C-alpha cells in the first residue's frame, strides 16, 4: 500500500521526499529511468522525514529485527532500527559476510542472484521488518522474506521508499504486507 493512500494523503513530506530523488535517464542501460536516492540522503529534512514516517508506522508493532537489503536498505534500516529499539540485520550479496551464513537464491529478469544472512542473527519467533529503497518486481523482497522465515522469524511487513506503478496493485509479497512511500518520478 502506498503511504499517500493510507493515512498520509496530502502530507507535504511525501512530495518533498519524491522531489528529493534524482532521476537519471538511461542508467545503467538505455530505457531505464534510475531513481537515485543519494540526492535524498543529501537533503537532511527529506531524509529525516523518510525515516520518521517509517518510524511512526513501526514504533508500536513489536518489531525486534529490521532487515536491510543490500545496499540501499542499509541506508534507512539502521536509523529505523535504532529509533524503534530493534536490531539491524544486513541481508547481503554472496561472499560479503564473514563466518557462517544461510542464503536464498532468487530469479531476476535476466539471471539469478542471492541474499545471505549470518547464522544466528535472527532468532525463531522474532518479528521482522524488511526494508529496501525500491520495489520493482518483488523478487529481492520475496527472497528476503524466505530467508527470514527459514530461521523462524515472523515477517511483519516489507517497506520501500519507492514503488514502481506495477507494485501498486501488489499489496502483498509472499502473503506479507508491502508499504511504499512514493511512486517513481519520470
Catalytic residue ranges? 72, 109
113 by Cβ neighbours in 10 Å (0-12 / 13-18 / 19+) ranks as middle
CA distance 49 to 43: 10
Grid cell at residue 77:
534500516
Residue 28: cis peptide before it, omega within 30 degrees of 0:
yes
End-to-end CA distance of the chain: 20
Contact 140, 132 (CB under 8 A): yes
Amino acid at each position: 500500500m502506498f503511504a499517500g493512500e493510507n493515512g498520509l494523503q496530502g502530507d507535504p513530506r511525501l512530495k518533498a521526499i519524491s522531489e528529493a530523488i534524482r532521476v537519471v535517464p538511461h542508467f545503467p542501460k538505455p530505457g531505464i529511468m534510475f531513481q537515485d536516492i543519494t540526492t535524498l540522503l543529501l537533503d537532511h529534512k527529506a531524509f529525516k522525514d523518510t525515516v520518521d514516517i517509517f518510524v511512526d508506522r513501526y514504533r508500536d508493532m513489536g518489531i525486534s529485527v529490521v532487515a536491510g537489503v543490500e545496499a540501499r536498505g542499509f541506508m534507512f534500516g539502521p536509523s529505523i532500527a535504532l529509533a524503534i529499539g530493534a536490531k539491524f540485520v544486513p541481508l547481503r550479496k554472496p561472499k560479503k559476510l564473514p563466518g557462517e551464513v544461510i542464503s536464498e537464491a532468487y530469479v531476476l529478469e535476466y539471471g539469478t542472484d542471492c541474499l545471505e544472512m549470518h547464522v544466528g542473527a535472527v532468532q525463531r519467533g522474532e518479528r521482522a521488518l524488511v526494508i529496501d529503497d525500491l520495489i520493482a518486481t518483488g523478487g529481492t523482497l520475496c527472497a528476503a522474506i524466505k530467508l527470514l522465515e527459514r530461521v523462524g522469524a515472523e515477517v511483519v511487513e516489507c517497506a520501500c521508499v519507492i514503488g514502481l506503478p506495477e507494485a501498486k496493485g501488489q499489496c502483498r509479497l509472499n502473503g506479507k504486507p508491502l508499504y511504499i512511500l512514493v511512486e517513481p518520478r519520470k
